[in-house]
Amino acid sequence: MSDKQPLNHRRRQLITGGVALAITGLGASMAKPVSAACVPAHEIKFDEVVDIIVVGSGFAGMSAALQAREAGASVMVVDKMPVFGGNSTINGGAMAVAGSPLQQENGIKDSVDTMVADMLEAGRGMNDVEMLKLICNGTAESCQWLTDYGVQWKPFVQHFGGHSLPRILQTVESSGAGIIRPLIKAAKKRGIDMRTQTKLESFIKDDRGRVTGIEVKANYFFPKERSGVTRRYGARKGVIMATGGFSRDIEYRKMQQPKLTKELDSTNHPGANADALKQMMLIGANPIHLDQIQLGPWASPDEKGFGTASQFNTIATYPRGIVVDARTGKRFFNELADRKARADAIMTRRDDQGQPVYPIGFTNAEGASKAQTLDWGLKYNVIKKADTLEELAKIYGIPADALKAQVTSWNKAVDIGEDSQFGRPMQKAMKLEQGPWYAVRMWPKVHYCMGGVKVNTRSEVLHLVSYEPIPGLYAAGEATGGIHGASRLGACAVAEGVVTGRNAGQICAASKSIVLKHVQSS
């Protein structure tokens, strides 16, 4: 009792006498948004004003910016990092396209409906179907749009896990840089104001609740929170949030999924945190599916990030090799299942203490012939080479006889064209007959946030309470939630980013401008 009294007393002080103190405390914890939002509209002055501000410079951001510029809007792109492109420029550069010319050349019959169905199945039915249709319907045209900006694709179609047929196009660089770099070049050429080291701090709204701009830290030096100078940028037409996910925000992702601790590495760039998401939520955005966080099942614990193994596994091991339990030499899952199924399967491989027993994925020289990262992986000892299956078994401590028996039974399955054990699609399956063999140890890494803010098919961010668009606020790409449901299919992030980015850019550019006050900063 006696302990509680001072506490109550203090609380009352805060409520009554200590109002100033309480407000100071609130201001400190919630930082700028409150103060910025409270300034009457006619008093808000901006250091600079453009039609559209795009926050983030990945697939969604660059696509939004260029599309808006094509429509005649003046555009500024801000990114908090020292370089443009976020995760997009370090990703694998693979885009799922329904109905590409390359599919037609190869006699692959695909359709928007088939792609929607595939994404729905992987998403366990949790997906926003209207958004799915928007995206899948836009892939073929957006792919051409990228090609027109100078993106170069490999001359073959790939079959990624979870897709019912081959529909993946990949940049010749095997990297999203093959998309981002041409888009940055085009943006600069077309007069889009491109700024790195510019961090969104909060939104500025007028007294009718419309988002009129952002407060930023210019000259911000990631991750030094005390760096940079405060600036206000106004947007006459709107702010497009293309701010990605929070895979590298260990604390926040753990709140959603306590098992995703710091022991799990991530494929993401260091800036992939929840800061921008939180700012959107503070002005009423509706968070959807935040606990749906994807693990990439093609990563290796023997290197950091996406590394060399991820590309090796997606193009070689998974479609043209097999993955075995290191203790038994036996396959234990469908190597072309969707990412969630594969990551979940891999993470069941643990010893009595619960420690990971890394499964081994491998193929031979023929299977690895298209893996551009093979030589780099060998150089850094992530991918290992063995001339015979005995040698391969020895490197990883696999029982050699069991491994050979598994390879024999796999080859039989390829002959009859059916994987009766795990139901793997066999279109691209290949018999494993001759060495040399190439192998990696595998363990998933945090890769993608299916969750984000709720948007409509006009890419408007919807308010948590009214379900109506928050005026002046748009979002695209990974920053949005609900589109992929429980598991995003491979190569669908590029598709989503480009299609929804362009959608946001187009609609925002067509929206009505408001008049904003502009001050020349001294």
Partner 1 sequence: MFKTLNTLLLACLLVAPAASAMQMKDYHKEIMTGDNGKVECAICHGDVKRKTIPAASQCESCHGSSDDMALQTARPKDAGHDVEPNPHDSLHYGTDLPCSYCHREHKQSKVYCNECHKFEYPNMKR
CB nearer to partner 1: pick between 303 and 325: 303
Determine the Cα–Cα distance for residues 249 and 239; give it in Å rounded to an integer: 24
Nearer to partner 1, 85 or 284 (CB): 85
The per-residue DSSP string of 34-78 comes to HHHHHS-GGG--BSEEEEEEEE--SHHHHHHHHHHHHTT--EEEE
Q: Which of 232, 236, 248, 339 is catalytic?
A: 339
Rg of the chain, C-alpha, whole Å: 25
Is 85 near partner 1 (CB under 8 A)?
A: yes
Q: By CB under 8 A, tell whether 410 contacts partner 1.
A: no
Quote the least distance from Cβ 400 to partner 1, whole Å. Answer: 30
The answer to whether residue 181 forms part of the interface with partner 1 (CB under 8 A) is yes
3-state secondary structure 470-502: EEEEEECHHHECCCCCCCCCCCHHHHHHHHHHH
CA neighbours closer than 13 Å in the CB half-sphere of residue 452: 32
438 binds partner 1 (CB under 8 A): no
Residue list 8-47, contact with partner 1 (CB under 8 A):
none
Output 253 or 289, the one with its CB closest to partner 1.
Answer: 253
- Name 146's Cβ contacts closer than 8 Å, sequence gap at least 6: 95, 179, 182, 183, 498
Q: Of 252, 332, 376, 422, which one interacts with partner 1 (CB under 8 A)?
A: 376
> Do 88 and 71 meet the contact criterion of CB atoms below 8 Å apart?
no
- Does position 89 interact with partner 1 (CB under 8 A)? The reply is yes
**Does residue 313 belong to the site contacting partner 1 (CB under 8 A)?**
no
Residue 120 or 177 with smaller CB distance to partner 1: 177
> Binders of partner 1: how many residues, by CB under 8 A?
29
User: Under rule CB under 8 A, which residues in 209-228 are in contact with partner 1?
Assistant: 219, 221, 224, 227
Q: Which is nearer to partner 1, 124 or 188 (CB)?
A: 188
Residue 177 CB, nearest approach to partner 1 (Å): 4
497: nearest Cα among 67, 51, 52 = 67
The structure tokens listed for 13 are 């002080």
**Stretch in the footprint of partner 1 (CB under 8 A) among 79-87, 251-259, 419-427, 491-499:** 79-87
* Binding map of partner 1 across residues 90-129, x = CB under 8 A, - = no contact: x---------------------------------------
Angstrom CA distances, 124 to 131, 347, 484, stand at 15, 20, 9
Q: CB nearer to partner 1: give 185 or 190.
A: 185
Rule CB under 8 A: say whether 149 interacts with partner 1: no
Residue that is written with structure tokens 């939002």 in the block:
37
Position 316, amino acid: A
Nearest to 339 by CA among 481, 463, 486: 486
Using CB under 8 A as the binding rule, whether residue 344 contacts partner 1 is answered as no
Pairing outcome for strands 75-78 and 193-195: parallel
Q: Based on CB atoms, which residue is closest to partner 1, 30 or 172?
A: 172
Interface with partner 1 by CB under 8 A: which range of 58-66, 378-386, 485-493, 500-508?
378-386
- Report which of 164, 160, 169, 59 is spatially closest to residue 111, judged by C-alpha positions: 164
| Signed CA dihedral, 101, 162, 150, 69: sign only | positive
The H-or-E segment that residue 461 falls in is: strand 460-462
Instruction: Report the nearest approach of partner 1 to the CB of residue 54 (Å).
Output: 17
Q: Is 249 in the site for partner 1 (CB under 8 A)?
A: no
Residue with tokens 């948004």: 33
Instruction: Please report whether residue 193 would count as binding partner 1 according to CB under 8 A.
Output: no
| 177 near partner 1 (CB under 8 A) | yes
Least gap, CB of 276 to partner 1 (angstroms) = 20
Beta-strand ranges (E) seen in 315-409 are 322-324, 360-364, 384-386
Angle between helices 4-15 and 19-30 (to 10 degrees): 90
Q: Which is nearer to partner 1, 324 or 446 (CB)?
A: 446
Active site residue 339: yes
Angle at 160 (CA atoms; ends 154, 166), nearest 5 degrees: 65
- Positive/negative CA dihedral, 345, 351, 356, 359: negative
Stretch that binds partner 1, among 2-10, 202-210, 297-305, 448-456 (CB under 8 A): 297-305
Identified binder of partner 1 from the candidate list 232, 236, 269, 370, rule CB under 8 A: 269
The answer to whether residue 460 forms part of the interface with partner 1 (CB under 8 A) is no
Question: Is the backbone peptide bond immediately before 223 cis, with ω within 30 degrees of 0?
Answer: yes
Q: Which of 51, 110, 128, 303 binds partner 1 (CB under 8 A)?
A: 303
Nearer to partner 1, 82 or 150 (CB): 82
| 270 is an interface residue for partner 1 by CB under 8 A | yes
* Of positions 58, 161, 307, 361, contacts partner 1 by CB under 8 A: 307
Q: Segment near partner 1 (CB under 8 A), from 105-113, 142-150, 175-183, 362-370?
A: 175-183
- Rounded to a whole number of angstroms, the minimum distance from the CB of residue 175 to partner 1 is 6
DSSP E strands, 179-228 = 193-195, 199-205, 211-218
Which residues would be at the binding site for partner 1 (CB under 8 A)? 82-85, 89-90, 173, 175, 177, 180-181, 196-197, 219, 221, 224, 227, 269-270, 303-307, 375-376, 378-380
Residues assigned a catalytic role: 339
